Structure 1
Amino acid sequence: MSSLRIMYERSTRRCGRWNRGGYMGKPIAGIQMYALRDEAERDILGTLEKIADMGYKAIESIGYFNSPPEQLKKRADELGIDIPSMLVSLNFKTLAKLDRDFANDIEYAAGIGVSYITVPWVPMHEQPTIEDMHFLADVLIRCGEQTKALGMKLALHNHDYELKLVDGKPAFDRLLELVPEELMAAELDLGWIYIAGYNPAEYLKKHKARTPLVHIRNFKTGRKDTELGKGVIEMEQLLQEIEKTDVQYMFVEQEDFLTSSLDSAKANILYLKKLGYA
């Protein structure tokens, strides 16, 4: 693929006008690098090549993998891979260092050229309170302002435990209410929403205007995840619902593998290709 063609495809994809299948409105199919962490830790640049060969068009980074940001960005650009988001964990263990550590992480992310800094988790008590929500919101607002100053936007990812009820409403929803929309988007993990007992499609509709990124995964009975077409979640119907929203990127994520992370990554993109989503 020529460098001019890559530049064209990348620019039009960001505007939501293009994807591999040529259909308007469909999100870009990417992979969350935690799903290939064993491969990336050995050879991040080689893993990028494998991802591109499979047909993924984007990744969500989870850290450095001993690669300078300019090197990672250059190879991704050459392969036609977007890196719209990077996961950055907040240092809740040492609050005095949280702002400084976060500043270092987002400086690296800015070097890659990401649009979103995604917080993968926040601490949650067994029975979270409104006071807990205000504490977390204050931290997220501060981080959102730091992120905005560098031309990016903060996003918050969920597991099932961030959906514990706080005065009758999921904690995740409370945080979205307390943190201004201009400072923080939502990255909904639709699999964990299902595990928490909610309908992923309905939850996505509720936060449609604030959700540019989603994680897609399937689950067996219980809490072990599996390939997209092999679990209890009706993925084909869910993908159709995602298509109706403003989601720009959907990242495959999987933590449990029958054979290997690469085999599962291949199975997931083949499933998306079969349905016209990659």
Structure 2
Amino acid sequence: MAKPQVGLQLYTLRDQTEKDFLGTIRKVADMGYKYVEFAGYFNTSPADLNKVLEETGIQAVSAHVGLNFNDPNKMEADLAEQIEYAKAIGLKYLITPWAPLPENPQLEDVDSLASTLEKAARQVKEAGLIYGYHNHDFEFKQVDGTPVIDLLLQKIPADLMIMEFDLGWVHMGGQSPVEYVQRYAGRTPIAHLKDFGVGRRDTEVGSGSVEFDPVFAIAEEAGIEYFIVEQEEFASSSLESAKLSLDYLRGKGY
């Protein structure tokens, strides 16, 4: 098994991408990243995006695509558009980055969400792509003594939905990132590297309180293909933070 490759979730650079999406991808390449995960395309055509990806050598692995929970009648059609775009730029994974749950979820809430995610997963799989879910910390609330995330992963077949564990949010959910990666080994081809400093403020990877070394030690064995850097708050600039995280990972041999 190969060592995981390092990519950047472009939501990290949203202050840049909303001004100059294609130019930001060039900056990401200059920084040294070889892989990216998208969070929107800013009205860019697949042809224009493919041209820049080819020019820079950046490989597009995945995209965060929100489901239309507000209008379930449009969910399938909206997802179909995202699938068409994803196939046009050669993505392998489509990831739902967030899903609604009540403050105090009950089993019927979990069942309803599982049904929705499974429907989306089947649609993505039928199109030849791989569907996944990305957690925050609220999925670690317990229902009948079991974390919601575990219930979801029990209810939805592994061949339909992979898990993109956000290791920072696993930590913030009071759980051990390495234990969750081990528990779902083989079902976690992508892992988000998000670090947290004071309170709920995130920071550059390697400068906060999340323990990544135990995950690095078992990453290949667990089948992780990509580590995706993500950050939302910055001491100076998003570009500087993205570079610092990459430097840290380079120092770890990635």
TM-score bracket for this pair, using the shorter chain length: over 0.9
Structure 2 residues without counterparts, runs of 5 or longer: none
Amino acid at match of 1:119: T
Q: Scaled by the length of structure 1, what TM-score is found?
A: 0.88
CA distance in 2, matches of 1:173, 1:53: 39
Over 6 Å off, 4+ runs: none
Pick the aligned partner of 1:181 from 147, 158, 161. 158
Quote the Cα distance in structure 2 between the aligned partners of 1:187 and 1:86.
Answer: 11
RMSD: 1.3
Does the 8 Å CA contact 2:181/2:215 hold for their aligned counterparts?
A: no
2:178 is the counterpart of 1:201: yes
Identity of aligned residues (%): 45
Give the letter aligned to residue 131 of structure 1.
Answer: E
Question: Where does residue 76 of structure 2 map in the other structure?
Answer: 99
Amino acid in structure 2 at the alignment position of 1:220: G
Q: AA paired with 1:135?
A: S
For residues 54 and 151 of structure 2, the distance between their equivalents in structure 1, rounded to whole angstroms, comes to 38
- 2:242 maps to a residue whose letter is A
| Match of residue 235 from structure 1 | 212
Deviation at 1:154?
0.7
SS of aligned partner of 2:43: coil
Distance between the aligned counterparts of 1:148 and 1:74, measured in 2?
27
Tell me how far 1:191 sits from its aligned partner: 0.3
User: What is the rounded CA distance, in whole Å, between the counterparts of 2:166 and 2:28 in structure 1?
Assistant: 21
Deviates more, 1:68-77 or 1:48-57: 68-77
Q: What SS does structure 2 have at the residue aligned with 1:156?
A: strand
Partner of 1:150: 127
Q: Which one of 20, 24, 34 corresponds to residue 43 of structure 1?
A: 20
Q: 1:215 aligns with which of 192, 196, 213?
A: 192
CA offsets per residue over residues 55-82 of structure 1, 9 Å max, x none? 1111100111221112212321332211
Q: Distance in 1 between matches of 2:87 and 2:126?
A: 11
Distance of 1:157 and 1:100 partners within structure 2: 21
Shift of 1:274: 1.4
Consecutive unaligned residues of structure 1, counting only runs of 5 or more, are 1-15, 17-24
How do 1:125-164 residues align onto structure 2 when only pairs under 5 Å count?
125-164=102-141
2:52 corresponds to: 75
The range that moved more, 206-215 or 41-50, is: 41-50
What amino acid sits opposite 1:236 in the alignment? D
Tell me how far apart the structure 1 counterparts of residues 237 and 119 of structure 2 sit (CA, whole Å): 39
Query: Displacement of 1:43 after TM fit?
Result: 1.2
Normalised by the size of structure 2, how large is the TM-score?
0.96
Aligned residues: 254
The answer to whether the Cα contact below 8 Å between 1:122 and 1:162 also exists between their aligned partners in 2 is: no
1:49 to partner: Cα distance: 1.2
